[in-house]
Structure 1
Protein backbone atom coordinates (compact mmCIF):
# COMPACT_ATOMS: atom_id res chain seq x y z
CA UNK A 1 0.00 0.00 0.00
CA UNK A 2 2.81 2.41 0.85
CA UNK A 3 4.01 2.15 -2.77
CA UNK A 4 0.77 3.60 -4.12
CA UNK A 5 1.21 7.11 -5.49
CA UNK A 6 -2.38 8.22 -4.89
CA UNK A 7 -2.13 8.16 -1.08
CA UNK A 8 -2.34 11.40 0.88
CA UNK A 9 0.46 12.22 3.30
CA UNK A 10 -1.86 11.63 6.28
CA UNK A 11 -2.85 8.17 5.05
CA UNK A 12 0.75 7.34 4.25
CA UNK A 13 1.81 8.40 7.76
CA UNK A 14 -0.94 6.29 9.33
CA UNK A 15 0.07 3.26 7.27
CA UNK A 16 3.70 3.74 8.26
CA UNK A 17 2.68 3.85 11.92
CA UNK A 18 0.69 0.63 11.52
CA UNK A 19 3.62 -1.02 9.75
CA UNK A 20 6.04 -0.06 12.52
CA UNK A 21 3.61 -1.20 15.23
CA UNK A 22 3.13 -4.53 13.46
CA UNK A 23 6.88 -5.05 13.30
CA UNK A 24 7.21 -4.30 17.02
CA UNK A 25 4.46 -6.81 17.81
CA UNK A 26 6.19 -9.41 15.63
CA UNK A 27 9.42 -8.91 17.55
CA UNK A 28 7.62 -9.13 20.89
CA UNK A 29 5.84 -12.34 19.91
CA UNK A 30 9.07 -13.88 18.64
CA UNK A 31 10.78 -12.85 21.85
CA UNK A 32 8.02 -14.39 23.94
CA UNK A 33 8.31 -17.63 22.02
CA UNK A 34 12.08 -17.68 22.52
CA UNK A 35 11.60 -16.85 26.20
CA UNK A 36 9.08 -19.60 26.86
CA UNK A 37 10.23 -22.30 24.45
CA UNK A 38 12.19 -25.08 26.09
CA UNK A 39 14.22 -26.09 23.08
CA UNK A 40 16.73 -28.87 23.48
CA UNK A 41 20.33 -27.74 23.84
CA UNK A 42 22.24 -29.03 20.84
CA UNK A 43 25.59 -29.26 22.58
CA UNK A 44 28.89 -29.68 20.81
CA UNK A 45 32.54 -29.42 21.75
CA UNK A 46 33.38 -25.72 21.61
CA UNK A 47 36.52 -23.63 21.72
CA UNK A 48 35.06 -20.61 23.55
CA UNK A 49 37.78 -18.22 22.40
CA UNK A 50 37.18 -19.19 18.78
CA UNK A 51 33.42 -18.76 19.17
CA UNK A 52 33.94 -15.27 20.58
CA UNK A 53 36.35 -14.36 17.79
CA UNK A 54 33.81 -15.48 15.19
CA UNK A 55 31.03 -13.54 16.93
CA UNK A 56 33.10 -10.35 17.11
CA UNK A 57 33.74 -10.56 13.36
CA UNK A 58 29.97 -10.33 12.85
CA UNK A 59 29.94 -7.03 14.77
CA UNK A 60 32.98 -5.40 13.18
CA UNK A 61 31.18 -3.36 10.52
CA UNK A 62 28.50 -2.15 12.92
CA UNK A 63 31.13 -1.07 15.45
CA UNK A 64 33.23 0.59 12.75
CA UNK A 65 30.27 2.62 11.50
CA UNK A 66 29.64 3.89 15.02
CA UNK A 67 33.31 4.57 15.72
CA UNK A 68 33.53 2.08 18.58
CA UNK A 69 36.61 -0.11 19.03
CA UNK A 70 36.21 -3.85 19.60
CA UNK A 71 38.95 -5.50 21.65
CA UNK A 72 39.37 -9.21 22.38
CA UNK A 73 41.58 -10.45 25.21
CA UNK A 74 41.48 -14.26 25.11
CA UNK A 75 42.61 -16.09 28.21
CA UNK A 76 44.86 -19.10 28.00
CA UNK A 77 44.45 -22.70 29.13
CA UNK A 78 40.70 -22.80 28.52
CA UNK A 79 39.28 -26.33 28.17
CA UNK A 80 36.88 -27.29 25.41
CA UNK A 81 33.30 -26.97 26.68
CA UNK A 82 30.07 -28.62 25.57
CA UNK A 83 27.56 -25.90 24.69
CA UNK A 84 24.88 -25.05 22.17
CA UNK A 85 26.79 -22.98 19.62
CA UNK A 86 23.80 -21.17 18.11
CA UNK A 87 22.10 -20.31 21.38
CA UNK A 88 25.28 -19.26 23.14
CA UNK A 89 26.34 -17.12 20.20
CA UNK A 90 22.95 -15.38 20.36
CA UNK A 91 23.74 -14.49 23.99
CA UNK A 92 27.09 -13.00 23.00
CA UNK A 93 25.53 -11.06 20.13
CA UNK A 94 22.78 -9.67 22.35
CA UNK A 95 25.26 -8.46 24.96
CA UNK A 96 27.52 -6.96 22.29
CA UNK A 97 24.61 -5.16 20.61
CA UNK A 98 23.51 -3.76 23.97
CA UNK A 99 27.07 -2.61 24.67
CA UNK A 100 27.24 -0.96 21.26
CA UNK A 101 23.91 0.78 21.83
CA UNK A 102 25.26 2.18 25.11
CA UNK A 103 28.46 3.43 23.47
CA UNK A 104 29.38 6.62 21.66
CA UNK A 105 32.07 7.25 19.02
CA UNK A 106 35.46 6.86 20.67
CA UNK A 107 34.25 4.31 23.22
CA UNK A 108 35.46 0.72 23.32
CA UNK A 109 34.03 -2.73 23.99
CA UNK A 110 36.39 -5.34 25.41
CA UNK A 111 35.62 -9.04 25.51
CA UNK A 112 37.88 -11.17 27.68
CA UNK A 113 37.96 -14.77 28.85
CA UNK A 114 39.42 -16.13 32.06
CA UNK A 115 42.90 -17.54 32.27
CA UNK A 116 42.08 -21.14 33.07
CA UNK A 117 39.31 -22.16 35.43
CA UNK A 118 37.23 -20.00 37.77
CA UNK A 119 35.56 -21.50 40.85
CA UNK A 120 32.18 -20.11 41.91
CA UNK A 121 30.80 -19.76 45.44
CA UNK A 122 29.42 -23.30 45.33
CA UNK A 123 32.85 -24.72 44.54
CA UNK A 124 32.06 -25.51 40.90
CA UNK A 125 34.73 -24.96 38.30
CA UNK A 126 33.97 -23.09 35.12
CA UNK A 127 35.08 -20.41 32.69
CA UNK A 128 34.24 -16.71 32.56
CA UNK A 129 33.49 -14.40 29.65
CA UNK A 130 33.40 -10.66 30.36
CA UNK A 131 32.01 -7.98 28.05
CA UNK A 132 33.00 -4.48 29.16
CA UNK A 133 32.01 -1.21 27.51
CA UNK A 134 33.05 2.36 28.26
CA UNK A 135 29.59 3.68 27.44
CA UNK A 136 26.93 5.53 29.39
CA UNK A 137 26.54 3.00 32.20
CA UNK A 138 23.37 1.80 33.92
CA UNK A 139 21.65 3.70 36.76
CA UNK A 140 21.78 1.75 40.06
CA UNK A 141 17.98 1.63 40.29
CA UNK A 142 17.85 -0.30 37.00
CA UNK A 143 20.41 -2.99 37.80
CA UNK A 144 17.98 -5.29 39.61
CA UNK A 145 15.46 -5.04 36.76
CA UNK A 146 17.74 -5.68 33.79
CA UNK A 147 16.76 -9.33 33.37
CA UNK A 148 13.03 -8.78 33.96
CA UNK A 149 10.92 -9.55 30.87
CA UNK A 150 9.88 -6.38 28.99
CA UNK A 151 12.17 -4.10 31.00
CA UNK A 152 14.18 -1.85 28.70
CA UNK A 153 15.96 1.49 28.93
CA UNK A 154 15.89 1.95 25.15
CA UNK A 155 13.58 4.32 23.32
CA UNK A 156 10.15 3.13 22.25
CA UNK A 157 10.48 0.96 19.16
CA UNK A 158 14.16 0.19 19.76
CA UNK A 159 13.88 -2.72 22.16
CA UNK A 160 11.37 -5.27 23.42
CA UNK A 161 12.96 -5.76 26.83
CA UNK A 162 13.29 -9.50 26.24
CA UNK A 163 16.87 -9.85 25.02
CA UNK A 164 18.51 -10.06 28.43
CA UNK A 165 15.75 -12.29 29.81
CA UNK A 166 16.22 -14.74 26.96
CA UNK A 167 20.01 -14.55 27.29
CA UNK A 168 19.91 -15.27 31.00
CA UNK A 169 17.59 -18.22 30.37
CA UNK A 170 20.01 -19.70 27.84
CA UNK A 171 23.00 -19.28 30.17
CA UNK A 172 21.08 -20.79 33.09
CA UNK A 173 20.13 -23.78 30.95
CA UNK A 174 23.87 -24.29 30.46
CA UNK A 175 24.14 -24.24 34.27
CA UNK A 176 25.69 -20.78 34.29
CA UNK A 177 25.07 -17.26 35.56
CA UNK A 178 25.34 -13.65 34.39
CA UNK A 179 26.34 -10.87 36.75
CA UNK A 180 26.48 -7.15 36.06
CA UNK A 181 28.50 -4.24 37.38
CA UNK A 182 28.08 -0.70 36.12
CA UNK A 183 28.81 2.93 36.85
CA UNK A 184 26.92 5.77 35.21
CA UNK A 185 29.17 7.69 32.84
CA UNK A 186 31.92 5.05 32.91
CA UNK A 187 30.42 1.89 31.46
CA UNK A 188 29.25 -1.62 32.28
CA UNK A 189 30.58 -5.16 32.54
CA UNK A 190 28.49 -8.27 31.96
CA UNK A 191 30.24 -11.44 33.14
CA UNK A 192 29.07 -14.88 32.06
CA UNK A 193 30.16 -17.87 34.12
CA UNK A 194 29.63 -21.35 32.65
CA UNK A 195 30.39 -24.55 34.58
CA UNK A 196 32.45 -27.36 33.14
CA UNK A 197 29.88 -30.02 34.02
CA UNK A 198 29.18 -32.13 30.98
CA UNK A 199 32.21 -30.88 29.09
CA UNK A 200 34.02 -33.19 26.71
CA UNK A 201 36.92 -34.79 28.52
Structure 2
Protein backbone atom coordinates (compact mmCIF):
# COMPACT_ATOMS: atom_id res chain seq x y z
CA UNK A 1 0.00 0.00 0.00
CA UNK A 2 2.74 2.45 0.99
CA UNK A 3 4.78 1.54 -2.10
CA UNK A 4 1.76 2.23 -4.34
CA UNK A 5 1.19 5.65 -2.76
CA UNK A 6 4.85 6.55 -3.06
CA UNK A 7 4.91 5.45 -6.70
CA UNK A 8 1.80 7.50 -7.50
CA UNK A 9 3.34 10.53 -5.79
CA UNK A 10 6.57 10.06 -7.74
CA UNK A 11 4.64 9.78 -10.98
CA UNK A 12 2.57 12.89 -10.31
CA UNK A 13 5.66 14.90 -9.37
CA UNK A 14 7.62 13.69 -12.38
CA UNK A 15 4.80 14.49 -14.80
CA UNK A 16 4.52 17.96 -13.28
CA UNK A 17 8.26 18.47 -13.75
CA UNK A 18 7.96 17.21 -17.31
CA UNK A 19 5.59 20.03 -18.16
CA UNK A 20 7.31 22.67 -16.05
CA UNK A 21 10.87 21.85 -17.10
CA UNK A 22 12.43 24.25 -19.63
CA UNK A 23 12.23 22.96 -23.19
CA UNK A 24 15.17 22.80 -25.58
CA UNK A 25 14.44 25.29 -28.35
CA UNK A 26 16.00 25.37 -31.80
CA UNK A 27 17.99 28.58 -32.16
CA UNK A 28 18.57 28.41 -35.93
CA UNK A 29 15.68 29.48 -38.13
CA UNK A 30 15.77 28.89 -41.88
CA UNK A 31 13.58 29.25 -44.94
CA UNK A 32 14.04 27.27 -48.15
CA UNK A 33 12.08 28.45 -51.19
CA UNK A 34 12.52 25.11 -52.92
CA UNK A 35 11.52 25.13 -56.57
CA UNK A 36 10.34 28.75 -56.37
CA UNK A 37 13.36 30.91 -55.44
CA UNK A 38 12.64 34.60 -54.93
CA UNK A 39 13.58 36.67 -57.97
CA UNK A 40 15.90 39.64 -57.46
CA UNK A 41 14.75 42.38 -59.84
CA UNK A 42 17.62 43.87 -61.83
CA UNK A 43 17.04 47.42 -60.60
CA UNK A 44 18.04 49.76 -57.80
CA UNK A 45 15.33 48.39 -55.47
CA UNK A 46 15.85 44.67 -55.91
CA UNK A 47 14.03 42.70 -53.21
CA UNK A 48 13.83 43.28 -49.46
CA UNK A 49 13.69 40.50 -46.85
CA UNK A 50 12.58 40.68 -43.24
CA UNK A 51 14.04 37.50 -41.76
CA UNK A 52 12.06 37.73 -38.50
CA UNK A 53 8.63 37.93 -40.12
CA UNK A 54 9.41 36.00 -43.29
CA UNK A 55 8.10 38.88 -45.41
CA UNK A 56 9.77 39.95 -48.67
CA UNK A 57 8.95 42.24 -51.55
CA UNK A 58 10.17 44.84 -54.06
CA UNK A 59 9.63 47.84 -51.75
CA UNK A 60 11.63 48.81 -48.68
CA UNK A 61 9.83 47.62 -45.54
CA UNK A 62 10.20 48.50 -41.89
CA UNK A 63 12.64 46.12 -40.22
CA UNK A 64 14.13 44.68 -43.40
CA UNK A 65 17.35 42.73 -42.90
CA UNK A 66 18.71 41.90 -46.35
CA UNK A 67 18.46 43.61 -49.74
CA UNK A 68 20.08 42.24 -52.92
CA UNK A 69 19.74 44.53 -55.96
CA UNK A 70 21.49 45.93 -59.06
CA UNK A 71 23.43 49.12 -58.40
CA UNK A 72 23.74 49.66 -62.18
CA UNK A 73 27.02 47.77 -62.33
CA UNK A 74 25.82 44.36 -61.19
CA UNK A 75 24.66 42.37 -58.18
CA UNK A 76 25.03 44.27 -54.91
CA UNK A 77 23.96 43.62 -51.32
CA UNK A 78 22.70 45.91 -48.61
CA UNK A 79 21.67 45.42 -45.00
CA UNK A 80 19.91 47.72 -42.60
CA UNK A 81 21.88 50.51 -40.91
CA UNK A 82 24.87 49.74 -38.65
CA UNK A 83 25.47 47.60 -36.67
CA UNK A 84 23.87 45.41 -39.34
CA UNK A 85 25.93 44.61 -42.42
CA UNK A 86 27.19 42.22 -45.07
CA UNK A 87 30.19 39.94 -44.44
CA UNK A 88 32.84 41.52 -46.64
CA UNK A 89 36.49 42.10 -47.45
CA UNK A 90 38.29 45.35 -48.17
CA UNK A 91 37.97 48.78 -46.59
CA UNK A 92 34.48 49.29 -45.13
CA UNK A 93 32.46 51.48 -47.47
CA UNK A 94 30.65 51.35 -50.82
CA UNK A 95 33.56 49.56 -52.53
CA UNK A 96 33.86 46.67 -50.06
CA UNK A 97 33.30 43.25 -51.61
CA UNK A 98 30.89 40.65 -50.24
CA UNK A 99 32.66 37.43 -49.33
CA UNK A 100 31.71 34.31 -51.27
CA UNK A 101 31.05 31.60 -48.70
CA UNK A 102 31.01 27.85 -49.08
CA UNK A 103 28.68 25.54 -47.19
CA UNK A 104 29.91 25.26 -43.60
CA UNK A 105 31.92 28.51 -43.50
CA UNK A 106 31.65 30.32 -40.16
CA UNK A 107 29.67 33.55 -39.79
CA UNK A 108 30.37 35.16 -36.42
CA UNK A 109 31.39 38.29 -34.54
CA UNK A 110 34.97 37.80 -35.74
CA UNK A 111 33.99 38.71 -39.31
CA UNK A 112 34.08 42.13 -40.96
CA UNK A 113 30.56 43.34 -41.69
CA UNK A 114 30.09 46.23 -44.07
CA UNK A 115 27.19 48.55 -43.03
CA UNK A 116 27.02 50.13 -46.49
CA UNK A 117 26.36 49.11 -50.05
CA UNK A 118 28.46 45.97 -50.55
CA UNK A 119 29.52 44.98 -54.02
CA UNK A 120 28.83 41.44 -55.22
CA UNK A 121 31.38 41.28 -58.04
CA UNK A 122 32.60 37.87 -56.91
CA UNK A 123 29.06 36.49 -57.09
CA UNK A 124 28.62 37.37 -60.75
CA UNK A 125 29.78 34.00 -62.05
CA UNK A 126 26.67 31.96 -62.69
CA UNK A 127 26.78 29.82 -59.56
CA UNK A 128 24.85 29.16 -56.36
CA UNK A 129 26.76 30.69 -53.43
CA UNK A 130 26.31 31.89 -49.87
CA UNK A 131 26.59 35.44 -48.59
CA UNK A 132 26.94 36.14 -44.85
CA UNK A 133 25.30 38.94 -42.91
CA UNK A 134 24.30 40.19 -39.51
CA UNK A 135 21.27 42.20 -38.45
CA UNK A 136 19.75 43.69 -35.32
CA UNK A 137 16.88 41.55 -34.08
CA UNK A 138 14.28 44.20 -33.21
CA UNK A 139 12.44 41.77 -30.93
CA UNK A 140 15.40 40.87 -28.70
CA UNK A 141 17.76 43.78 -29.38
CA UNK A 142 20.52 41.26 -30.12
CA UNK A 143 22.73 41.09 -33.20
CA UNK A 144 21.90 37.94 -35.15
CA UNK A 145 24.18 36.23 -37.68
CA UNK A 146 22.81 34.66 -40.83
CA UNK A 147 23.27 33.64 -44.45
CA UNK A 148 21.47 33.78 -47.78
CA UNK A 149 21.89 31.35 -50.67
CA UNK A 150 22.06 33.24 -53.98
CA UNK A 151 21.59 31.97 -57.54
CA UNK A 152 23.39 34.14 -60.09
CA UNK A 153 24.14 34.33 -63.79
CA UNK A 154 27.50 34.97 -65.41
CA UNK A 155 27.96 38.58 -66.50
CA UNK A 156 26.57 41.05 -63.99
CA UNK A 157 24.90 38.40 -61.83
CA UNK A 158 21.42 38.76 -63.30
CA UNK A 159 19.02 37.04 -63.55
CA UNK A 160 19.50 36.38 -59.83
CA UNK A 161 17.37 34.85 -57.11
CA UNK A 162 17.44 33.93 -53.43
CA UNK A 163 17.05 30.18 -52.88
CA UNK A 164 17.11 30.10 -49.07
CA UNK A 165 18.20 31.95 -45.94
CA UNK A 166 18.82 31.22 -42.29
CA UNK A 167 19.89 32.90 -39.05
CA UNK A 168 20.75 32.15 -35.43
CA UNK A 169 18.32 34.01 -33.17
CA UNK A 170 20.28 34.15 -29.89
CA UNK A 171 23.38 36.03 -31.05
CA UNK A 172 25.63 33.01 -31.48
CA UNK A 173 27.56 32.17 -34.63
CA UNK A 174 26.14 30.17 -37.53
CA UNK A 175 27.66 28.39 -40.50
CA UNK A 176 26.65 28.99 -44.11
CA UNK A 177 23.75 26.73 -45.00
CA UNK A 178 23.15 25.67 -41.40
CA UNK A 179 19.57 24.70 -40.59
CA UNK A 180 18.05 23.27 -37.43
CA UNK A 181 14.36 22.68 -37.00
CA UNK A 182 13.93 20.64 -33.84
CA UNK A 183 10.77 20.08 -31.84
CA UNK A 184 10.78 21.11 -28.20
CA UNK A 185 11.98 18.16 -26.12
CA UNK A 186 11.80 17.66 -22.35
CA UNK A 187 14.95 17.62 -20.30
CA UNK A 188 16.47 14.11 -19.90
CA UNK A 189 16.19 14.28 -16.09
CA UNK A 190 12.43 14.76 -16.32
CA UNK A 191 12.08 11.76 -18.64
CA UNK A 192 14.18 9.67 -16.22
CA UNK A 193 11.93 10.62 -13.29
CA UNK A 194 8.81 9.56 -15.19
CA UNK A 195 10.46 6.23 -16.01
CA UNK A 196 11.42 5.70 -12.37
CA UNK A 197 7.91 6.44 -11.15
CA UNK A 198 6.28 4.16 -13.71
CA UNK A 199 8.69 1.38 -12.74
CA UNK A 200 7.85 1.74 -9.05
CA UNK A 201 4.12 1.77 -9.78
CA UNK A 202 4.44 -1.40 -11.86
CA UNK A 203 6.40 -3.13 -9.11
CA UNK A 204 3.70 -2.21 -6.58
CA UNK A 205 0.95 -3.69 -8.78
CA UNK A 206 2.88 -6.92 -9.26
CA UNK A 207 3.26 -7.30 -5.49
CA UNK A 208 -0.47 -6.80 -4.99
CA UNK A 209 -1.37 -9.47 -7.52
CA UNK A 210 1.15 -11.98 -6.13
Structure having greater relative contact order (Cα 8 Å, sep ≥ 6): 2
TM (norm. structure 2) is 0.23
> Which structure has the highest strand share of the two?
2
TM (norm. structure 1) is 0.24
